[in-house]
A and B are shown apart, each in its own frame.
Chain A
Amino acid sequence: MQTVQPRSLPLRLPRVRPGGVLPILVILAVLLVLVGIRQPDFLAPPSLMSFLGRSAPIILLAAGQYFVIVSGEFDLSVGSLVTAQVVVAARLIDSDPARTWPVVLLLLAFGALVGLVNGLITTRLRVPSFITTLGMFLILVGAVYLWSDGAPKGGLSEEFRRFGRRAFEDVPLLGRVPYALLVLVVLAVAAVLLMRSDFGRTLVAVGDNPRTAELSGVRVWRTRTFAFILSGLAAAVAAILLGGYSGVSFQAGAGLEFGAITAVVLGGVALGGGRGAVVGAMLGALTLELLFALMNFYGVSGALRSTVQGGIILLAVAVSATRSSSR
């Protein structure tokens, strides 16, 4: 009798929105299955917790990079900023536990300041952010090198290192929950809330079409500068966690900017701005780390990592370009 069946909602295929997080979730799930087949132990709580803890810095950097990229800019300075922060922290703390908290505050302020300078040069002096942050990258590398005579001095206190190294022990079900993971969860929630606020919408609007945003009363330069500050702050937190995880090193932040950009692109965020979710960027970072772990489990040489990373950037940008042109 009934000839036409009413189309019910669940039957409709979920449309893949450009910039959505569905693709990255699928990739992540596939990788998890592959890891589960090859190395089931890895998915057991203790090793999973330790994996998430050590991935926290790159995930935070990806979130920081997301703010900048979604607003239509780039931040290439984060890797060298992390290195600078770790080296500065070691020298200032000089193994004295009492200096831990003041130095943590100083690092956050330093990160915000570098972001502010990046932002102001980009927006007020109209230097393309690619060049601004590349310049900042070189300035920081050189300054750290000069200041430390090429070899890090001093040492990090155990109090400083615990953020990146220690964990809540004997948590029911999970076992060991690294402090770094908690820091990550708190900041990830904050980032999501921020993107849902007016500021978040403005940020995306600025990246999508700065002219329109300007005409509708948004102060584009202020929004973008704030995005750079957020990226600097993310680098500061990442530096605190990374320094804690592994101690002082001149290599602490090497290559992290490319890791963060790869993660953001992998997470479906459009280079050039205006599309993508912060959750996608963070999942992108997690996926990238999981991919590297998987490569290790399959015995693929670590030397291939940067090649894989480069391939992902090219592929992800190409896919996103095709999608956006057919929109």
Chain B
Amino acid sequence: MAALAAVTLLSLAACSTDEPAAGPSGSASAAGSGTGEQSKFFVQADYDAELALLDAAPTGPADKPWEQALNPTMVDTAKFKKSGPHKICFSNAALNNPWRQVGFKTMQAEVEAQKSRIKEFVHVDAEGKDQKQIADINDLLGKGCDALIVSPNTTATLTPAVEAACQAGLPVVVFDRGVNTKCPVTFINPIGGYGFGHVGAEFVSQKMKPGGKVLALRILPGVDVLETRWSAAKVAFDKAKVDVVGVEFTDGDPAKTKKIVDDYIQRYGTIDGVWMDAGAVAVAAVEAFQDAGKPVPPMNGEDQLDFLKIWKDKKLTAIAPTYPTYQWRTPIIAALRILDGQQVSSPWKLPQPTVTQDNLDQYLDAGMPPLHYAMCGCTDLPGYPQRWK
């Protein structure tokens, strides 16, 4: 059970458990405002780069963020040019959480939208196991794929398998979590965890009453994507001199979250801001305040519809940074462009939009299920909305 929970949680935020790369980490000093030591995963240069990207203007069609790129560096792909229709293969780390479910449906719909150009789409689910994914990639190499898409389960362990695929000569596209090699034609992902954590923390510290108490809720420690989210939030809270009264781990469990928040409300009488590193338990946190008869303080969630709905219905002061599921469309588009011999950006950094009070209505679709991710970029795809229900 613990193992299952861990697997679910790890993938919950679509993240890997690799040790941090050696680098100038932990350079930011703790300001002693309750946020503790800086995470050993913190890399100042990456942090600076991601925060700069938050303000960068994307290149590409404004209404299609999944085709946009931030600060693109184009690479030549003429050697992969091939006449279609193509057989595209996809080695998927896992399908074991709502984020990946929504993402994969979006990818399938993109394949359907491009069906004149794709004769076959092969999908293999590694079920969250590195060993299975290594075998999957190896198997796919013998299946006559024209292009291979990989969403790696963990970074370091999958690197040799991806390198082997590159050597087989077919174009490889990696997305979501990365690998430690430059051999794929491109690596597609949104801005990242520092951007996510920073947006939420900055909002909470600006909107809450000065000198108030913040509760930070984290899913679990030691996972790179989640650590980067928290470390950026820590920097923001330290800078704003906010009193972070607690940093707690929820395991992504709503019942546990509710108890933790309830305990803090009992302990401090009131909590003035809530920051969280992933939106899965956002609604549970809101309910804890409601059930205790307290006003819901400024907080952040994610773009899951249950949170957007309660935000709108209860008129919360909230923000939702996202790790957009529309990034699942991009690898298909990239693979087809590569097979056309068109240039693509490498790395391909996708914009990472934020749901705010101003654009909330645009993302809130009452007809979609509570665990759907609004930032799927899927409304123009075949089978919408039925496919995602």
On A, residues with C-beta under 8 Å from B are: 39, 41-42, 46-47, 50, 54, 79-80, 95, 137, 141, 145, 149-155, 165, 242, 245-252, 254-255, 293, 296-297, 302-303
Contacts and interface: CB of A to CB of B under 8 A. Distances in A.
Contacts of B97: 150-151
17 contacts: A41-B269, A50-B262, A50-B291, A54-B262, A80-B1, A141-B1, A150-B101, A151-B100, A165-B287, A245-B255, A247-B283, A249-B253, A250-B5, A252-B253, A252-B254, A254-B1, A254-B253
Interface string B100-135: 110000000000000000000000000000000000
Q: Which of B266, B269, B293 has the most CB of A within 10 A?
A: B266
Contact of A149 (B101, B266, B287): B101
A39 B95 contact: no
A250 B1 contact: no
B59 to A, nearest CB: 34
A47 B266 contact: yes
A323 B255 CA distance: 37
A50 B255 CA distance: 14
Q: Which of A141, A152, A246 has the most CB of B within 10 A?
A: A246
Contact of B253 (A145, A251, A293, A296): A251
Given A41-B266, A249-B253, A251-B253, A150 B8 contact: yes
A137 B1 CA distance: 9
B259 interface: yes
B292 A302 contact: no
A150 B291 contact: no
B140 interface: no
A254 B5 contact: yes
Given A151-B101, A250-B8, A39 B267 contact: yes
Contacts of B45: none
A150 B1 CA distance: 13
B382 interface: no
B266 A39 contact: yes
B251 interface: yes
A104 B154 CA distance: 41
Contact of A151 (B248, B257, B258, B371): B371
B20 to A, nearest CB: 21
B150 to A, nearest CB: 20
A155 B283 CA distance: 13
A150 B260 CA distance: 25
A246 B98 contact: no
Given A247-B283, A251-B251, A254-B253, A141 B4 contact: yes
A203 to B, nearest CB: 28
Nearest to B4: A141
Contacts of A153: 369, 371
Contact of A242 (B4, B252, B255, B267): B255
B253 A247 contact: no
A41 B1 CA distance: 37
Nearest to A303: B249
Contact of B254 (A39, A137, A155, A247): A247
Q: Is the interface of A mostly helix, strand, loop or mixed?
A: helix
Given A150-B97, A247-B254, A302 B266 contact: no
B180 to A, nearest CB: 27
Contact of A249 (B94, B254, B291, B293): B254
Interface residues of B, number: 38
Contacts of B284: 246-247
B96 A251 contact: no
Interface of B: 1-2, 4-5, 8, 94-98, 100-101, 248-249, 251-260, 262-263, 266-267, 269, 283-284, 287, 291-293, 369-371
Given A42-B266, A153-B369, A246-B254, 20 more contacts: A46-B293, A47-B266, A54-B262, A141-B4, A150-B96, A151-B97, A151-B98, A154-B369, A165-B291, A247-B284, A248-B254, A249-B255, A250-B5, A251-B8, A251-B253, A252-B255, A254-B5, A255-B1, A297-B263, A302-B249
Contacts, number: 95
Contacts of B5: 250-251, 254
Contacts of A155: 369-370
A165 B8 CA distance: 26
A303 B251 CA distance: 11
B266 A251 contact: no
A296 B256 CA distance: 13
A251 B256 contact: yes
Q: Which of B252, B256, B259 has the most CB of A within 10 A?
A: B259
Which 9 pairs from chain A and chain B are nearest by CB? A150-B96, A251-B253, A246-B255, A246-B254, A151-B98, A296-B263, A249-B254, A151-B101, A155-B370
A41 B292 CA distance: 13
Contact of A145 (B4, B258, B266): B4
A248 B248 CA distance: 21
Contacts of B257: 246
B93 to A, nearest CB: 12
Contact of A54 (B254, B259, B267, B293): B259
B125 to A, nearest CB: 10
B255 A251 contact: yes
A254 B253 CA distance: 9
A242 to B, nearest CB: 6
Nearest to A169: B293
Contacts of B287: 165, 246-247
A137 B260 CA distance: 27
B254 A79 contact: no
A152 B371 contact: yes
A164 to B, nearest CB: 9
B259 to A, nearest CB: 6
B251 to A, nearest CB: 6
A245 to B, nearest CB: 6
Contacts of B94: 150
A27 B257 CA distance: 27
B248 A302 contact: yes
A241 to B, nearest CB: 10
Contacts of B291: 50, 165
A3 B284 CA distance: 71
Contacts of B1: 79-80, 137, 141, 254-255
Nearest to A166: B291
B290 to A, nearest CB: 9
B258 A245 contact: yes
Contacts of A165: 287, 291
A245 B257 CA distance: 11
